[in-house]
Structure 1
Amino acid sequence: MTSLESRFRGALVGLAIGDAVGTTVEFQAPGTFTPVTDMVGGGPFGLKPGQWTDDTSMALCLAQSLIDCRGFDARDQQEKYLRWWREGYMSSTGRCFDIGNTVRGALTRYLQFKEPFAGSTDPHSAGNGSIMRLAPVPLFYFSNPEQAIHLSGESSRTTHQARTAIDACRYLSALIVGALRGSSKEALLSPDYSPAPGLWGSKPLCSEIAEIANGSYRHKTVNQIRGSGYVVQSLEAALWAFATTESFKEGCLAAVNLGEDADTTAAVYGQLAGAYHGLENIPEGWRKKITDLNEIMRMADDLANSAVLGR
């Protein structure tokens, strides 16, 4: 039986691994590249195997903020994101790279106005930059599913305040909490799943995310799935990869080989699949290559300790 510690570590390490495997074909159109079969680095940023991009950097900033503040503090999260942008804090290379335009715009507004919820509310800004980093919030608030889901939505608002981005974070958080609790894949992917019964009735998901929660991806072929930067397509693609494969590796490669925003599709997949499969079921060869693996696992353990204490 997979331990809770293994699931916590799996969620955060799985995020980083998806990011590192996916960067190889980031920005490439589907069908235009030789399918990825391993963690090989390269890609648009010329990374070494195991180095990761903005997805993991922002997730680690978020994790460290929750640990340092012993809870959710949007202002501290922004300050850590700023350190990443300006100084390369929590970067696998020592510098900030691959920062999205929506995130950059939000950080610029935060610098100017000092309002921590600085994300754009424009539906056209509903990118996947907040679901890509999400895992630390459901990990920290694991013992209180309703709070985990609410604060996951709030964690989006620092950079992405479009309703679809917020609700994508809420729904993904529900799935991660359920996976940490050992729910079966069948249960997790059942229509309108939530570890907090009745939540979607009292606090509904927007129509685009509700459609995904009802299994939109189940009826689509690989050619109908898009691993784009749009949050709705990104979440759907990650869940398609999770639903249609058996192992962490198989699903990760399925997500990556959709191309386009491959690192983020796989990072979103990796959070959920890592929590579901546990650390020991993520390929050891991939784990050994990941930059700062021990530090990532330490953060996962710190988040787990907070969760067990019910903070």
Structure 2
Amino acid sequence: MTTTAGASTALWSRARQQDFRTRVRGCLLGGAIGDALGAGIEFQSLAEIRAAHGPDGVRDYVSAYGRRGAVTDDTQMTLFTVDGLIRAHVRRDSGAWHPAADVHRAHLRWAFTQRARGPVEHHPETGWLARQEWLYAQRAPGNACLSGLADDRMGTLEAPRNPGSKGCGAVMRSAPFGLLAGLEPGYVLQLAAECAVQTHGHPSGYLAAGAFAVVVHAAARGETLETGVHRALALLAGWPGHEETTEALQGALTAVRQGPPTAERLESLGQGWVAEEALAMGVYCALVAEDMAHGLLLAVNHGGDSDSTGSLCGNLLGALHGETALPPLWTAGLEGRATILELADDFAMELTQGAALHGPGVSSGTWTDRYPGALDTEWLR
């Protein structure tokens, strides 16, 4: 496995390319499905959920934001994270490799969707994702995400934005870093943390994001989730301020051993509003899942941040099992499915066949029109 940002086409056999693409699709679609399952019950207690939907809680999409299958800011920001990572790879043609900056610009484009009426059609940096009108909907965006992206100053590990914030708004968008399968796990954690501090500067906020990316990374490479969790714990030990995140992950492993999964056992890990709790809950549900549907329904039926924990669980199980494991009816009814699939396939192509899409000797501008490398952010203000 290469340790660079991507892998040359020669290193990716057709079988590996197909396997990787189905894991990318599974991860992004699975996260969106979990998000949509939890969107309609996010602010309800477990007792309220059971009173409204029966003793087992929700078993299908319920109406949110005027429709069934609607996604939230969790999915919106995840998609823009993918867009930023693709652009980072495209910009390597110019000799630049600063993915945190490219992801930051992508997150600024997301922030623009939260205050604009619709796309800016003809600006050179827009790209195709920011032209999708359905993404210009406010779906309860987090305050830290909005304030951290209120201007174009990029937070860093040395000078983070919102240094006291450890809400789950960074961890819920961090699965794409784990899909960088050619990177070493330690760099995956670092990159996810560097991008998390753009909005969430508390160590638990950005280290939970990094740890989550490491677990996704293991699944994307065909390893077990348990391998990913233990790898994340080992890597976290080298970071200052890791204690809350480490304790939360260890709590998830302990809960797995305590008996059959229940909503009450899940709630013993927290409510998911803060990053380390959302991480623990999403990981726990993925570890005990009998299948995708079982894991996702467990992840959303609790009295907390149901859409975020559902999203994290869906990212993990989708990366582990691939898109064919996703429940067909939920996939069919998902808002934005076509866009998510198109972006997933673009990400997989960039990582496995990027040299054939752009660079020396490649004259077509199709790819760079979709993922331009312009650095101008003035139009986003």
TM-score in same-fold range (> 0.5): yes
Partner of 1:19: 35
Q: Does structure 1 conserve the Cα–Cα contact (< 8 Å) formed by 2:211 and 2:236?
A: no
* 2:331 equivalent to 1:287: yes
Deviations 1:206-258 (A, max 9, x none): 01111233324435623413333111211111112112221111010001101
Give the alignment partner of residue 82 of structure 2, picking from 63, 69, 80: 63
Supply the AA of the counterpart residue of 1:235.
L
> In structure 2, what is the Cα distance between the partners aligned to 1:151 and 1:270?
21
* 2:272 equivalent to 1:228: yes
Supply the AA of the counterpart residue of 2:75.
T
> In structure 2, what is the Cα distance between the partners aligned to 1:137 and 1:82?
20
* 2:56 equivalent to 1:38: no
Partner of 1:177: 217
Gaps of 5+ in 2: 1-14, 90-98, 119-129, 259-264, 356-381
> In structure 2, what is the Cα distance between the partners aligned to 1:150 and 1:309?
25
Q: Describe the shift of the 1:169–1:216 C-alpha distance in structure 2 as closer, same or farther (beyond 3 A).
A: farther
Partner of 1:9: 25
Q: Does structure 2 conserve the Cα–Cα contact (< 8 Å) formed by 1:193 and 1:213?
A: no
Q: Which secondary structure does the structure 1 equivalent of 2:285 belong to? A: helix
> In structure 2, what is the Cα distance between the partners aligned to 1:91 and 1:56?
15
Q: Does structure 2 conserve the Cα–Cα contact (< 8 Å) formed by 1:119 and 1:159?
A: yes
Q: Describe the shift of the 1:75–1:238 C-alpha distance in structure 2 as closer, same or farther (beyond 3 A).
A: closer
Q: Does structure 2 conserve the Cα–Cα contact (< 8 Å) formed by 1:15 and 1:271?
A: yes
Normalised to the residue count of structure 2, the TM-score between the two structures is 0.71
How much has 1:95 moved relative to structure 2? Answer: 2.1
Q: Describe the shift of the 1:254–1:149 C-alpha distance in structure 2 as closer, same or farther (beyond 3 A).
A: same
Partner of 2:373: none
> In structure 2, what is the Cα distance between the partners aligned to 1:259 and 1:241?
15
Q: Describe the shift of the 1:259–1:91 C-alpha distance in structure 2 as closer, same or farther (beyond 3 A).
A: farther
> In structure 1, what is the Cα distance between the partners aligned to 2:192 and 2:273?
19
Give the alignment partner of residue 83 of structure 1, picking from 93, 101, 112: 112
Q: Does structure 1 conserve the Cα–Cα contact (< 8 Å) formed by 2:249 and 2:280?
A: no
Partner of 1:49: 68
> In structure 2, what is the Cα distance between the partners aligned to 1:60 and 1:137?
12
Partner of 1:302: 346
Give the alignment partner of residue 218 of structure 1, picking from 231, 250, 256: 256
Q: Describe the shift of the 1:176–1:91 C-alpha distance in structure 2 as closer, same or farther (beyond 3 A).
A: farther
Q: Which secondary structure does the structure 2 equivalent of 1:193 belong to? A: helix
Deviations 1:172-201 (A, max 9, x none): 111001001111244344xx324xx96445
Supply the AA of the counterpart residue of 2:214.
A
Partner of 1:100: 142
Which structure would you say has the larger Rg? 2
Runs of 4+ aligned structure 1 residues displaced above 6 Å come to none
Partner of 2:12: none
Partner of 1:209: 245
Q: Does structure 2 conserve the Cα–Cα contact (< 8 Å) formed by 1:65 and 1:80?
A: no
Gaps of 5+ in 1: none
Q: Does structure 1 conserve the Cα–Cα contact (< 8 Å) formed by 2:209 and 2:275?
A: no
Q: Describe the shift of the 1:187–1:97 C-alpha distance in structure 2 as closer, same or farther (beyond 3 A).
A: closer
> In structure 2, what is the Cα distance between the partners aligned to 1:92 and 1:240?
32
* 2:183 equivalent to 1:144: yes
- Measured on the aligned residues, the alpha-carbon RMSD in Å equals 2.5
Partner of 1:115: 153
Q: Which moved more, 1:85-94 or 1:71-80?
A: 85-94
Normalised to the residue count of structure 1, the TM-score between the two structures is 0.86
Q: Describe the shift of the 1:278–1:258 C-alpha distance in structure 2 as closer, same or farther (beyond 3 A).
A: same
Q: Does structure 2 conserve the Cα–Cα contact (< 8 Å) formed by 1:22 and 1:263?
A: yes
